[in-house]
Structure 1
Amino acid sequence: MSASTEARAAASDGHGHDGHPSHCENCQAELHGHYCHACGQSVHNPVRNLGHALEEVFESFWHLDGRVFRTLRDLLSPGKVAREYLAGRRVRYIPPLRLFVIVSVVTFFVAQFAIHVESNTHFDIDTAQRTTVRLGNVKKQMRAAESVAEVEELRARIVGELRTAAAAAPVARDTIEASIVSVERQADKRIEALRALQGLDAQQVAEQRAEGERLAAKPREGSLEAAANLAELERLRDARIAAVQAQRDAASAQTRQSSDYAGLIRQANHAAGCRAAELQVAHAGRSEGAELRAADRQRYGEVECDDDDGPLSFNGRPWDPKTNPLKVEWWPQFANDWLNRQVGKGEANFQRASKDPALYIHALIGAIPSALFLMVPIFALLLKIAYVGSGRGYLEHLVVALYSHIYLCLALLAMFVLMLLGDAIAPHWAGFVWLKGLGIGLLWTWMPIYLLLMEKRVYGNGWPLTLLRYTLIGCAYFFLLSLATAALMTAAIVRM
């Protein structure tokens, strides 16, 4: 076959001698290179060649050519990339929005592995949380005490439990010791108030304190905590509930409406349930002859008894979707029903997260990227307001905001990498812990300085005016970022 015949055959087939099409497969224009001059489509067909398919993925999403390294290198110089991009020299850099998406996704993907709650084989989180005192609850108990003996008994019981917990969980000793100091301070304040209120002298105070310590050495007679078995516990709970019901039945209609008898019954049931779980856990431990796993303890019930009313309260009473719902007056009923369903989910997930701090950490990590995406246009708006009259449009400020957040994400990524390296290297070389801390500290210190220098170089104002604008923008930005993160974290906990 002659050369001219081959050429005609190739043309009729649509392909040249090198196997590439001679005409664009999209618009049929004659090709004179690797890209169509009419529509810009590449000569390579990704569905016919695996190498071209992978190349297109990286080219379209990552743009892993020389520009990524040039962009990352120039980002180390505050303001250089933003200045060059705004000056029209854009071809050498990756577009800021694309780079921001990639860097933020990578950063917070790595964060999921780098940030975690440390555990210890001799320390169980559930056990520690059962013995850690919630200071708000302690204050309430101290204020309710009506005698020095009662305060001293309460102090002795709580401090004794905390010291037992500190001995069993050395890793939590500092936190528990801080709780002990707070308990001691609350007890001393209440004793001083009772001494002045009741006109007690030093001898009387000492006698009552000794009586309180004696009472603390054994469970209160008739209390649910003193029940030695489930049968006795059931009898004591029924007696307490019967007493509350008798008070309710004997009360006037006005007193019955203003008093929370249902709450008192709920507290009795809750305390009995916690004590029943303690008895079952103790029995299982004795019968199995081994320390129970956290999952096994949870099957026997909840043993944390220091939050009688739960974390949510409205109108001075615990939240309840039927008897005491959260209600927005100007919302329709279906919207309020939806709101209370979300509150219920949030309450349940909050209880889960209180027992597993890792859930809080992951919810926070999950909320920050969304908050940053939300804050980029807001940060650009703050720049627009602060630099009104500069002649720059909103989109130019948006470029500065994007490159600022890209650098922040890169700095956070470097911190997370140092954390991962610390986990891997520190067990073999203790000195790396110091190096990791130094590196993270320097990164935190450099971030605000970097942003200040970037603002100075991009906008070109004098130092006094730049510092003033930088301070105002920074305060407004971090306030709004905190609100956005808290709102998104709350939403994440509800969806957990």
Structure 2
Amino acid sequence: MSAKGHEVPSHCENCNAPLAGHYCHDCGQSVVNPVRDAGHALEEVFESFWHLDGRIFRTLRDLIFPGRVANNYLAGQRARYVAPLRLFLVLSVVTFFFAQMVIHVDSGDKANPMVQLEDGVSNNNKNSAKQSKAFAKASSIADVEQIRRKNLADLAEAREAIPAVLLHARKAIDVAVDDVNRAADGRIEAIGREQGMSAEQVTAAKVDGARRAAAAMETAKQNLEKAADLATLQRLREERLAPHHVKLATLPANAAAARRHELNEIRDINIAAGCRAAQLQIADATSTEGDRVRKESEDARIYGDPDCYDRLTLFGSEEPWDEETNPLVIGWAPAFFNHWINRQIAHGRENVSRAQKEPGLWVRALLAAVPSALFLLVPVFALLLKLAYLGSGRLYLEHLVIALYSHAYMCLTMLAFFIVIALDNAISPHWAGFSWIGGTLGTLLWLWLPVYLLLMQKRVYRNGWPVTVLRYLVIGNLYFVLLAFAATFLALASLVRM
């Protein structure tokens, strides 16, 4: 019987070996059953915790000094430290779990709501010098007026799309309008002088050119991307679809290529119409909801995706990729593999579109991918060390220990950096001075990391400085190129799996 009145078995309950003390001499199991003794169970938990905690603190304390943990561990002092693989795994998981909680990417831009319906607008609003260069190509006053009309129409559309409450954004459009008019008038004066025209002739040519430009613009605007309202959009869509439907009806059934071409044209028209309809609805919602912060993904879910995606073609195919109608087929691969790879392409296209609207998805995918990339590259880093130090007499597993402790310190540095970010987010709104302190600490952490790794390599391998620096630079450059490729690949894979 034990001191607490519990019956002590005569043989180990795990391996049935005779007991001669508190622990089995064969397997090491305690004679006290924690299931029957709650107090001992609690005591065992705290004992294990503090024992593990002590080793962790000792390991982290010595890890701060370049090369100390690696040298001591390789010298045989293994019991005092957490094993290198366990330490690296724990630190990498904690670091990047904490990073995903701390790092946030705001996809909503209050100063630039999703109301710019034409990508071409920004191309016409660089500066007056670029406008002058564009007009310099015009050889007649009619050409100048045509260019002026087009640019002013695009800018007017952009201005209407911006809510009235965003006065600074509308003012930028007004400045661009002045630039266009100045550049156009300057070019007209230059053409008048070159051609010896009187002031009256220049004025008459401007009026005639403006009339022709207006007529040309009216014809050019008859496309889906320029539709000003949903009724006009539907009318233009039907006009664009009609000739394709007529041609499709006249094609014989065996003209597969021609029929497929017409169907693709019809599909492109419908996609463009759907995108423009979403743009118009989002613009209407924005203009009526004032300065409410908009979220692109939410608008896309309600009104439809306003971004018309380009055709996805693979390996030079003229037909757009489609999971069902035109999938990627690898001849030598089995059917299930072709089905799987087309599903991945479909997921990837959808998720990339989502990530463009919510940049935070890219960041979260990258942060989730980095631990896996580091884990995969640890043995590669050890191999680089082995090749760089072929004459050192060290075994590959010794280089692996050094690689693991190097990566553990890298994770520890990143964890400290993310803690600084968290403190900055919490303190800077109340004390602006901490922003400078946080930025300085973060910079010092990143500057110290390469110095630490260099010192570690010097103290572990004990070579001279020139040889150590040369090997360090070669290994470091190769490794970080591999890390960038691995992290990018895994981030893309993570996006596909979202």
- CA deviations 1:199-243 (Å, max 9, x no partner) are x99x99x98998999799989542224545434322211211223
Provide the C-alpha distance between the structure 2 equivalents of 1:460 and 1:383, rounded to a whole number of angstroms.
14
Q: CA deviation at 1:371?
A: 1.0
Percent identity, please: 49
Candidates 348, 369, 377, aligned match of 1:367: 369
Aligned equivalent of 2:271: 270
**Whole-angstrom CA distance in 1 between matches of 2:44 and 2:112:** 50
Instruction: Classify the secondary structure of the residue corresponding to 1:65.
Output: helix
2:29 to 41, 45, 59: 41
Please give the alpha-carbon distance, in whole angstroms, between the structure 2 residues aligned to 1:493 and 1:407.
28
1:32, CA displacement in angstroms?
Answer: 6.2
The alpha carbon displacement at 1:304 in A equals 2.4
Given residue 223 of structure 1, which amino acid in structure 2 is its aligned partner? Answer: N
User: Could you tell me how far apart the structure 2 residues matched to 1:213 and 1:58 are?
Assistant: 85
Residue type of the alignment partner of 2:385: L
What residue number does 1:196 align with? none
How far the C-alpha of 1:58 sits from its partner, in A, is: 7.2
Q: Is the 8 A contact 2:70 2:402 kept in 1?
A: yes
- Give TM-score, length-normalised by structure 2: 0.74
**What is residue 69 of structure 2 aligned with on the other side?**
81
Give runs of aligned pairs for residues 453-492 of structure 1, distance below 5 A.
Answer: 453-492=455-494
Q: Letter of the aligned partner of 2:338 in structure 1?
A: N
Aligned residue number for residue 345 of structure 1: 347
- The correspondence for 1:110, drawn from 75, 95, 98, is 98
C-alpha distance in 2 between matches for 1:275 and 1:49: 72
Q: Which amino acid aligns with 1:477?
A: Y
Aligned residues: 452
User: For 1:455 and 1:211, how far apart are their aligned partners in 2?
Assistant: 76
| Structure 2 SS opposite 1:321 | coil
For the structure 1 residues 124 and 216, does the alpha-carbon distance in structure 2 shift closer, same or farther, using more than 3 Å as the test? Answer: farther
Q: Residue 128 of structure 1 contacts residue 169 of structure 1 at CA under 8 Å; is this kept in 2?
A: no
User: Please, which moves more after superposition, 296-305 or 454-463?
Assistant: 296-305
For 2:165 and 2:408, how far apart are their aligned partners in 1?
Answer: 41
Shift of 1:47: 2.7
* Contact 2:279/2:306 (<8 A) preserved: no
Contact 1:153 1:212 in 2 (8 A): no
> Are the equivalent residues in 1 in contact too, given 2:366–2:491 (CA < 8 A)?
yes
The verdict on how the C-alpha distance between 1:215 and 1:102 changes in structure 2, with shifts beyond 3 A counting, is: farther
Matched AA of 1:66: G
Deviation at 1:474, TM superposition (A): 1.4
Question: Is the CA contact 2:275–2:306 (under 8 Å) kept in the aligned structure 1?
Answer: yes
Q: 2:239 maps to which residue?
A: 239
Query: For 1:349 and 1:437, how far apart are their aligned partners in 2?
Result: 33
Bigger drift between 398-407 and 464-473 goes to: 464-473
Moved more, 392-401 or 158-167: 158-167
Residue 131 of structure 2: aligned partner: none
Report if aligned partners of 2:110, 2:293 keep a CA contact under 8 Å in 1: no
Of residues 388-397 and 251-260 in structure 1, the stretch that sits farther from structure 2 once superposed is 251-260
Distance 1:292 1:107, change over 3 A: closer
- Cα distance in 2 for partners of 1:302, 1:293 equals 14
What RMSD over aligned residues (CA atoms) do the two structures have, in Å? 4.7
Aligned-residue offset at 1:128? 7.1
Equivalent residues in 2 for 1:201-280 (5 A)?
220-244=220-244, 261-280=262-281
1:337 alignment partner AA = H
* Deviation (angstroms), 1:319: 2.1
Instruction: Please give the per-residue CA displacement for 1:345-398, whole angstroms capped at 9, x wherever unaligned.
Output: 111111111111111111111111111111111211221222223211111111
Q: Is the 8 A contact 2:165 2:290 kept in 1?
A: no
Q: Secondary structure at the match of 1:389?
A: helix
TM-aligned CA distance change 1:423 to 1:246, over 3 Å: same
Query: Structure 2 stretches of 5 or more lacking a match?
Result: 126-137, 184-193
Q: Secondary structure at the match of 2:390?
A: coil
What is the CA-CA distance between 1:84 and the residue it aligns to? 0.6
Checking the alignment, whether the CA contact within 8 Å between 1:156 and 1:216 is kept in structure 2 is no
Distance change in 2, residues 1:25/1:124 (3 Å) = farther
Structure 1 unaligned blocks of 5 or more: 1-9, 139-145, 189-199
Q: CA deviation at 1:274?
A: 2.0
Counterpart Cα distance in 1 of 2:413 and 2:390? 30
Could you list the per-position Cα deviations for residues 30-71 of structure 1 after superposition, in whole angstroms to 9, with x for gaps in the alignment?
666654333222355333455654665677789533221111
- Residues 1:415 and 1:150: Cα distance change in structure 2 (over 3 Å): farther
- Cα contact 1:219–1:225 (8 A) shared by 2: no
Determine if contact 1:377/1:401 at 8 Å carries over to the other structure: yes
Superposed counterparts of 1:119-268, under 5 Å: 122-123=110-111, 127=114, 220-244=220-244, 261-268=262-269
Give the Cα separation in 2 of the matches to 1:278 and 1:325: 30
Query: Is the deviation greater in 226-235 or in 424-433?
Result: 226-235
Query: Which residue pairs with 2:389 in the alignment?
Result: 387
Deviation for aligned residue 1:26: 2.9
The 3 A distance-change label for structure 1 pair 160 and 443 is farther
Taking structure 1 as the reference length, the TM-score comes to 0.75
